[in-house]
Homo-oligomer: A and B are copies of this chain.
Amino acid sequence: MIKGLSQIDGEYVAPGTSTSFYQYQNTSFFEAESNHVDVALSQAEWAFEVLKKSSPKTIVQLLVQIVSELEHHQPLIMETYQSESHFPLGRAQGEFARTIGQIKAFIQLLEKGQYLQAKIDHSTDITPDLRKMLVPMGPIGIFGASNFPLAFSAAGGDTISALAAGCPVIIKGHPYHAATSELVASCMIKAVKESKLPSGTISHLHGSSHAVGEVLVKHPKLRGVGFTGSYSGGKALYDMAQKRTIPIPVFAEMGSVNPVIILKEKLHANQELAQQLADSVLLGSGQFCTNPGLIFIETNDDNHPFVNELISKVIQSQTGQMVHQNILKSYAEKIDQLSQYSPHLKLFQSKSNHGACGVIKISDLIKHPALTHEIFGPYTLLVLFDGVSDFLKIIPSLSGQLTVTILGDQSEHKAIAKVSDAIRHLAGRILYSGVPTGVAVQSTMTHGGPFPATTDARYTSVGTDAIYRWLRPITFQDCPEALLPDALKSDNPLNLPRQINGNWGIH
């Protein structure tokens, strides 16, 4: 079933002159070529002609079919996932469940229909009949993430939100789990066939070089890009897209150090906190977008029991394997480079696995702001500070973040308020208990944040609001009833919640 070939317009395509970049169980994987991208886009444009006129119900049928195909092939997907990623079964199952759960959340969103934001203003003596709704933007390029072979890859939130919006997708699978990506894509492509939608609705490209992605992002028929990965990768795609003759939006989620600030009363009031934080640092071997990489602790004492406890939990706990040897290599190099910051930075490393933990005073961190940057992997930096005003000095050195977590005791209300206020401009999500890992797929989620956490703080990539990245408004003025999209027809055939003359309701 796994062929190592790109799937375009519903078919596996011959590799042409390209070379193999990867082997999985005796199967060689081949780079997609420029002409593959071109065919995928032409077919996607064709598919869009059908999709843009499809009702939410048709899209729901596709998503239901995708769930069914993925569930049908779950055993093989699990096996391939584990074999490629080295993640344990529990993680594989959790990610599979999350992937299915995400698709079901979008099915519910489409069934409710409010996301179309259908609004009607009837004509008056001085104004025309105006009807507005959101419509899909066109073919979207999705880049699979290295760290989530399922939930942020071929059938991940980016792909599903774009399909839910009514946009065809061209998926560039991540080379670190090319077999899983191809397998999942083949399930989705089968679902497209079963749903009798055009075969250009979903294509899947293989590749390990930057060339495929570059051709995709620069292709004049592409209308938007979704990406989860490194700053360098996301920013490169963003810059390419902005330099096009017709610029297109790139929604790149580029990681974050997810600062956690722990006020002093919390240090002795909560025995489990060190364990909870260490688990969050090490979750997915530190390869989640929301692992805390900077933990500010309100103490002067680098021998404080909480600090010692946290260090030992991080370096003594079991961590899993890294998702790919290249990530491990980059991680190990960055940890090695940290030694140049001594004596300011004390570094603790696990002897048996990859966990690492630094300790530094905030005054030294201010002198070395590069230490606030993300090191992708199971590493965190503990930063000791002396009171809220001492903490506030670091704020100008902090860049945009997916999350900031503030942990304090009820008695520290004023300090929590002060920190909360000062960091608000930095984050897409602010937590006041728990840990930043664990991103619920809900309409109330913001998995986004000011640059460089993402390229566009106005959107989220997790939760149903992710659909708005792929929609734009259009207004129909004095449009004959028969030509109106169903969502705007006077008798409301889709039974949508709509705003009519300023009032929302199902009418």
Contacts and interface: CB of A to CB of B under 8 A. Distances in A.
Interface stretch (A276-284, A383-391, A412-420): A412-420
Interface of A: 52-53, 114, 119-121, 127-128, 130-132, 135, 137-138, 238-239, 242, 246-247, 249, 399-400, 410, 413, 416-417, 420-421, 424-425, 427-434, 440, 442-446, 448, 450-452, 455-460, 465, 468, 471-480, 482-483, 497, 499, 502, 504
Contacts of A399: 246
Nearest to A448: B473
Nearest to A480: B432
Contact of A431 (B421, B427, B477): B477
Contacts of A121: 440, 442-444
Given A128-B440, A483-B420, A247 B474 contact: no
Please provide the 9 A-B residue pairs with the shortest distance between their CB atoms, ordered closest to farther.
Answer: A130-B444, A446-B475, A433-B478, A429-B475, A431-B477, A132-B444, A121-B444, A242-B242, A457-B472
Contacts of A479: 430, 432
A116 to B, nearest CB: 13
14 contacts: A119-B444, A121-B442, A128-B440, A130-B445, A135-B424, A246-B399, A247-B455, A417-B482, A428-B475, A429-B474, A430-B476, A445-B475, A460-B473, A497-B504
A226 to B, nearest CB: 15
Contacts of A120: 444
A142 B127 CA distance: 28
A424 B465 contact: no
A443 B499 contact: yes
Output the residue of A53, A138, A247, A425 with the most chain B CB within 10 A: A425
Contacts of A417: 482-483
Given A52-B424, A475-B428, A434 B128 contact: yes
B132 A446 contact: yes
A246 B452 contact: yes
B472 A413 contact: no
